[in-house]
Amino acid sequence: MMRRLMCSLFLCLLGLGLCAQTADRLPLAQCAYLYFVSGQGDNLRSMLSDEMQASLSADVLGGMYRQLEGQFGSLQSAGEWHQVEAEGLAVCYRDLTFEKYPLRFQVAFNGNGRIAGLFVKPAPKPSPVSVAPDSSQVMERDTLVVCDAFRLPATLTLPRRAVEKGRLVPCVVLVHGSGPHDRDETIGPNKPFRDLARGLAARGIATLRYDKRTFVYRADCVPEGRQLDLDVETVDDAVAAVRLARTSSGVAADSVYVLGHSQGGWLAPRVAGRVSGLAGIILLAAPARPLEDLLLEQVTYLDSLAPSAQGKAQVADLQRRVENVKRLGTSAFCDTIPFPFAAPRSYWADIVAYRSVEAAAHLTLPLLVLQAERDYQVTMRDYSLWRAGLLKCPNASFKSYPRLNHLLQEGTGKATPDEYQRFSPVPSYVMDDVARFVRTGRLE
């Protein structure tokens, strides 16, 4: 029954949550919720986008809440409202406690204030209390990554014992995936970059992590006189972070590495091409295929988990946009077809021109490719392409993890987005492998 109550909203890590600043939609969400619980299907339907209205009748909308009560019992309590940004949408939600099961009511608003996604799903378990780093092993310093006029709050995490003894240690700069991430790369209750930072510090290795420019500056993330591209979004700041790491107290300047996750891993070879003397790069769940192909694959997979007419229409629309992206620079390109997720032409032109595997193959520094075998966003197909493309590179090492998903969470079977709402820290064996590579330049 839950599937019948869901209208799919596609939220994926590789979706391009760029610099858009969404408006406060909580008053609209509260209005939609009142229509929902009171069975006012006509009024609720009037708030939907045209695409949503085409797939949902007023009768269906008006009967949803009664179906929930029939299945899960009466409503016991309703939680606070929250709003987050995802793919340029304002996503508003509140958790509802029914007699038999906790659920989450969630609506997503497009730029025109119309509902582009509406669904009810199991509420995630409460986030665990954040555990402070072991002060006997780890020390953290606040700092700033400065790139031109942009100042990004950052954290340098160091092994305490080495610092107290005056020893210089290697440092790994952590580079985020796509979207406006904070320095911990927080997704649901999970903070994989924080886990990596503290785990590596316990193994004698420093890390530098920072809030991404699109997280701090949002719509003001593009410098005057520039257009949005991969350098503006990621590479320029990663280069600045490497320079900061080299000059940080306690860090060995000749032993600075870059670890990129997802899109950050895809761009790590580009960062290495901009910084001389980098000690090595680590590509964690990094795409090898064109990003537009991965986006279409992801959205198609997510629609298969809860098929709907709206989802089918979204897949078809994205396919049309992706096909047009591939025609960029040719006479067949159509200016009237929007780019995926409304990103500007400058951004997609940079994506189409960039060849990550080719860029990596020209590097002579140590390079490590790590892949989660359960990942549905960056799959084992990408991992195979990395291995094939770097086959003749003696500087490259590879490893895949059978039980991990894109966020380095353990589980079984092909991953789903719901897993990201379950707290599951990065396993220690991932930190062991990264530490071994930093110390030796290889895994063997």
Average pLDDT over residues 400-414: 96
306 found inside a domain: no
pLDDT at 87 over 70: no
Residues 115 and 207 in one domain: no
The answer to whether 154 and 211 have CB atoms below 8 angstroms apart is yes
Number of domains observed in the structure of the chain: 2
Render pLDDT for 152-163 as a digit per residue (tens, 0 to 9).
Answer: 999 999 999 999
**CB contact at 8 A, 191 and 156:** no
Shared-domain flag, residues 394 and 246: yes
For residue 215, tell me if it sits in a domain. yes
User: Are both 109 and 171 inside the same structural domain?
Assistant: no
Query: What pLDDT, on the 0 to 100 scale, is given for residue 317?
Result: 92
In this structure, of 121-135, 274-288, 352-366, 391-405, the range with the lowest mean pLDDT score is 121-135
Q: Do both 150 and 107 map to the same domain?
A: no
Pair (104, 217) in one structural domain: no
Higher confidence at residue 15 or residue 244?
244
Average pLDDT in the chain: 90
Place of tokens 């904070």: 182
Residue-range definition of the domain harbouring residue 169:
138-290+344-440
Mean of pLDDT values over 164-189? 94
What CATH number has the domain bearing residue 104? 3.10.450.590
Q: Measuring CA to CA, which residue among 138, 166, 165, 142 is closest to residue 153?
A: 142
Answer yes or no: do 144 and 285 share one domain: yes
Q: How far apart are the first and last CA of the chain?
A: 50
Examine the domain organization and report whether 198 and 118 are in the same domain.
Answer: no
Domain limit, last residue, from 88, 122, 156: 122
Is 329 a domain residue?
no
What pLDDT shows up at residue 341? Answer: 79
Alpha carbon 286 to its chain centroid, in Å, reads: 12
d(CA 357, CA 379): 15
Of the two residues 17 and 72, the one the predictor is more confident about is 72
- Which pTM was predicted? 0.78
More confident residue, 166 or 308: 166
75 & 168 share domain: no
pLDDT above 70: percentage of residues in the chain = 92
CATH of the domain at 148: 3.40.50.1820
In a domain, 305, yes or no: no
Q: Give residue for tokens 């062991």.
A: 432
12 pLDDT above the threshold of 70: no
Determine which of 87-96, 228-237, 345-354 has the lowest per-residue pLDDT on average: 87-96
Residues 184 and 272 in one domain: yes
Read off φ and ψ for residue 102, nearest 5 degrees.
Answer: -85, 135
Q: Average of pLDDT values for 139-166? A: 96
Answer whether residue 18 shows pLDDT above 50: no
Query: Do 95 and 170 belong to one domain?
Result: no
Q: Is residue 327 part of a domain?
A: no
User: Which range, of 239-243, 274-278, 338-342, 413-417, averages the lowest pLDDT?
Assistant: 338-342
Q: Give per-residue pLDDT as tens, 277-329.
A: 999 999 999 999 999 999 999 999 988 988 888 788 889 999 999 999 999 99
53 and 167 belong to one structural domain:
no
Band (pLDDT 50/70/90 cuts) for residue 36 is very high
What is the arithmetic mean of pLDDT over 26-36? 93
71: amino acid identity, one letter: Q
In a shared domain, residues 71 and 143 = no
Residue 435 lies in a domain: yes
Question: Residue 254: inside a domain, yes or no?
Answer: yes
101-139 confidence digits (pLDDT tens): 899 999 999 888 899 888 888 887 765 555 556 667 899
Question: How large is the average pLDDT for residues 410-418?
Answer: 92
